[in-house]
């Protein structure tokens, strides 16, 4: 039950991130633009892949040509579902990485805004834009490679009757959620000097909570236009997750607990006036923080 509660608290973090649509709408709209552009491209690619999934399943299972109709249908349906699942898993992780790179200035503002509102924000990163971009791209490629390896295993699992249509999709959502959470927490952990390996280790301290946020975000991306609305909120929620994960790991990495702003319990992500984008871009404390 404890794991389920923690999973639920991770889902709740996404809800808290969505509150920024009410308190900082202009900033969130800016964050939605890259997701809209990249999402349109990825939706087209997914439609293309899923349109030929049945043909690919037939090509991948020539051994089933002489099987009884029922057996052939079950196996090829499972393979087609596995192809669709693999494409969605890779598309979501790749979509997130590409969107974060394209919208880096906007999502960095959202991350900084949450850090300021929660209190004890880390100092500005002085690595420089291109150095930071290259590091983020490198981390994204490593995560994509890991996601592809796991996706290949799930693809093989799709050949197993029943299991391929029940267990494998659930594992796909959980796996995609994990990689998504690791990707989205990049700014918060980078600002604290954590490498990708250290990021994964910190998040694994409370894996259920990480999976709650990541899986909820992953599933929301499957809803039409869900990624456009949720992407900026997920960056905010992942910042809260990273702060708590860093603090839980070593007691020094997160500042005030999530939901505590300027020493006031329960005040996290509250409205702070109309000058949201400007205060975030200048690095000053948000009004009322």
DSSP string, 159-209: TSTTHHHHHHHHHHHHHHHHHHHHHHTHHHHHHTT--HHHHHHHHHTTHHH
State pLDDT tens for residues 169-181: 888 889 989 999 9
Phi, psi of 288 (to 5 degrees): 85, -5
Residue at 140 is within a domain: yes
State pLDDT tens for residues 184-217: 998 899 888 888 899 999 999 999 999 999 999 9
Q: Tell me, yes or no, if the pTM score tops 0.75.
A: no
Residue at 225 is within a domain: yes
Q: The domain containing residue 158 runs over which residues?
A: 2-260
Residue at 222 is within a domain: yes
End-to-end alpha carbon distance in the chain: 36
Reading phi first (left if > 0) and then psi (alpha if -120 to 50, else beta), residue 226 is in alpha
**How far apart, in Å, are the Cα atoms of 150 and each of 70, 74, 86, 140, 198?**
29, 23, 9, 15, 20
- Asked if 158 and 82 count as a contact pair (C-beta separation under 8 A), the reply is yes
Helix (H) / strand (E) element for 29: namely helix 25-51
Overall domain count for the chain: 1
Residue at 125 is within a domain: yes
Residue at 284 is within a domain: no
- Give the number of other CB atoms < 10 A from CB of residue 175: 22
State pLDDT tens for residues 39-54: 888 888 878 877 777 7
Q: Strand (E) positions, 99-174?
A: none
Residue at 173 is within a domain: yes
Residue at 132 is within a domain: yes
Residue 79 Cα to chain centre, angstroms = 26
Residue at 251 is within a domain: yes
Phi, psi of 265 (to 5 degrees): -60, 140
Average pLDDT in the 97-113 region?
A: 89
The one-character DSSP state at 269 is T
pLDDT at 156 over 80: no
State pLDDT tens for residues 52-92: 777 878 887 788 777 887 878 877 777 787 777 777 778 88
């Amino acid at each position: 039950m404890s794991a389920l509660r923690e999973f639920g608290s991770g889902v709740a973090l996404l809800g808290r991130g969505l509150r920024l649509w009410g308190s900082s709408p202009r900033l969130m709209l800016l964050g939605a633009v890259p997701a809209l552009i990249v999402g349109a491209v990825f939706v087209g690619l997914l439609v293309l892949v899923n349109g030929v999934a049945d043909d690919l399943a037939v090509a991948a299972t020539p051994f089933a040509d002489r099987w009884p109709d029922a057996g052939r249908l079950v196996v090829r349906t499972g393979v087609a579902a596995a192809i669709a699942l693999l494409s969605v898993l890779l598309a979501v992780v790749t979509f997130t990485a590409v969107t974060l790179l394209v919208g880096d200035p906007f999502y960095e503002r959202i991350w900084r805004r949450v850090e300021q509102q929660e209190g004890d924000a880390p100092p500005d990163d002085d690595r420089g834009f291109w150095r930071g971009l290259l590091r983020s791209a490198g981390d994204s490629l490593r995560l994509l490679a890991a996601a592809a390896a796991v996706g290949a295993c799930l693809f093989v699992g799709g050949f197993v009757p029943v299991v391929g249509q029940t267990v494998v999709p659930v594992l796909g959502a959980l796996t995609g959620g994990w990689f998504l959470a690791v990707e989205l927490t990049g700014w918060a952990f980078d600002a604290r000097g954590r490498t990708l390996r250290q990021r994964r280790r910190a998040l694994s301290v409370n894996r259920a909570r990480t999976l709650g946020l990541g899986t909820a975000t992953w599933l929301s991306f499957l809803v039409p236009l869900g990624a456009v609305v949720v992407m900026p909120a997920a960056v905010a929620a992942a910042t809260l997750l990273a702060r708590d994960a860093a603090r839980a790991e070593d007691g020094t990495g997160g500042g005030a607990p999530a939901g505590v702003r300027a020493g006031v319990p329960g005040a996290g992500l509250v409205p702070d006036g109309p000058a949201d984008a400007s205060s975030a871009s200048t690095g000053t404390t948000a009004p009322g923080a």
